[in-house]
Amino acid sequence: MHTLSPDLLRRTVRVLVVGCGGNGTAIAAGLPYLHQAMLVAGHPGGLHVTVMDGDIISPANCARQPFCRSEIGLAKAVVVVSRLNLFWGLRWTAVPEYFSSRTNVSEFDIVIGCVDTRAARALIRKQIEGWRSRVGYYLDLGNSSDTGQFVLGQPWNARNRRSTQRLRIAPEILPEIVEERLDEGDGPSCSAAEALERQVPFVNQALAYHALALLSRLFREGRIEHHGAFVDVARNRVQPLPISPELWRRMRRRGLRSRTARDQTPGGDGEASGPGRQS
């Protein structure tokens, strides 16, 4: 069982969404509903969301992401946040830049990673951990063509000290998702047909809304009994990730063993088949 810090029930919760691809746009579209639900339940400020992505809308994005051809050439983050602010009457923020080593995350309570490379995940991890960071939670989403996972964790930093009960973040229990060498040959889709071939429709929405439901439960009930899940849309299956230090250790050991096996296999630096290939 994990209990929400009372501090997040007394003021506006600051959220950073990194990435405006399939998962990022689905998460951003759902966050206003969480914001409204929090306000109705008596929360004093709900959410203030910042969406960050330096990407520009391309024709390929119009196949499985909520962008239209008249928006080609515009900044994804600006388009997404402008829509939300106009429809919901919000004052959320768009940052049309890529997440980098200069990005200051110290002001955010929750960082939601919706990035499509292991290198980007590794960079986010570096920024949210350590004594300079006070990020409370890191929610990571990643998917392949028809499966994916989301993990809500507490990065080890000035806010979340070492403890057996600290929720482990995704890279701690799934070390393969930050192995940067596995990104080789996994570039962005160059056409609408390729984008649809790589990912079946609705995998991003299914993953995002399960993740949002977990956040909603945390703020509505103040506690959760699992902190993520593995989602398989092809078979309509969802496997929760329990809060279990023993399970975390087993998963991490399995991931490290897989990495060792790849290192010892000729040609083992190739494309990954595990979770979190793309978003």
pLDDT, position 18: 98
Share of the chain above pLDDT 90, in %: 73
* pTM for the model: 0.89
Find the mean pLDDT for residues 169-189: 78
pLDDT, position 47: 98
pLDDT at 267 over 60: no
Q: Would you say domain 2-264 falls under CATH 3.40.50.300?
A: no
Find the mean pLDDT for residues 15-31: 97
- pLDDT tens for residues 135-172? 999 999 999 889 999 999 999 999 998 888 899 999 99
pLDDT at 278 over 60: no
Find the mean pLDDT for residues 179-190: 64
pLDDT at 209 over 90: yes
Instruction: Return the residue matching tokens 């995704």.
Output: 170
Beta-carbon contacts of 83 under 8 Å, excluding residues fewer than 6 positions away, are none
Tokens of 265: 């296999």
